[in-house]
A and B are shown apart, each in its own frame.
Chain A
Amino acid sequence: EAGVAQSPRYKIIEKRQSVAFWCNPISGHATLYWYQQILGQGPKLLIQFQNNGVVDDSQLPKDRFSAERLKGVDSTLKIQPAKLEDSAVYLCASSQRLDPNEQFFGPGTRLTVL
């Protein structure tokens, strides 16, 4: 079974530029999550989808971050414009259902904002 795929693995941009990350969850997984992990900290949930609907985006900085999950499969997370404090690893995870069972994580995208 293929795992959660993410791309790119690394991205370096200047502040005020835009960037987009892509995630392909495990086939059949209805729930998809985007986490932000700042160096030395635990992951923090940014947004949670159930199929193509948003369940929780309370910690997403909506003035600059956006995410979508068209057709309930792949998802894209965008930052526009980026700030220095957005430097982090962005992790995508998926699970079969909404309930708190095992979440499968992708390898992450490491973003550096200069």
Chain B
Amino acid sequence: AQKVTQAQTEISVVEKEDVTLDCVYETRDTTYYLFWYKQPPSGELVFLIRRNSFDEQNEISGRYSWNFQKSTSSFNFTITASQVVDSAVYFCALSEGAGGTSYGKLTFGQGTILTVHP
């Protein structure tokens, strides 16, 4: 069975601080996909990134960066120089690869509430 754990329930930082959101996953599949979604106060989940299990290259997009380490089953998300607009709930999610019974189905972690204070 798949499982995603986000150990940090809530994080509070002051604007311009860097912050890292942790994500640890469990799966028996060799092919799988990892995602991060943002849920602002409006409630709509916004896609941030998808990685497949064969691509361990770290990715940077503006102030966002992701560190994928298969050895520790982790897919951590860092926001550099945080801003008030980054305040939201962030979800890590996992999906099986082709052939799996959960192909295309997202298993979400419980989410991390990030509050950025001015």
Contact = CB atoms under 8 A, between A and B. Distances in A.
Interface of A: 31, 33, 40-45, 48, 55-56, 89, 91, 93, 95, 98-108, 110
Question: Chain B contact residues (Cβ within 8 angstroms of A): what range?
Answer: 20 to 34
B63 interface: no
B104 A100 contact: yes
The 9 A-B residue pairs with the shortest CB-CB distance in the complex, in nearest-first order: A42-B108, A100-B95, A105-B45, A100-B33, A98-B104, A102-B47, A107-B44, A108-B43, A42-B110
Contacts of B101: 56
A14 B66 CA distance: 44
Contacts of A89: 43
Given A100-B50, A102-B50, A43 B104 contact: no
B91 interface: yes
A56 to B, nearest CB: 6
Q: In the complex, which of the residues B45, B47, B50, B110 has the most CB atoms of chain A within 10 Å of its own CB atom?
A: B45
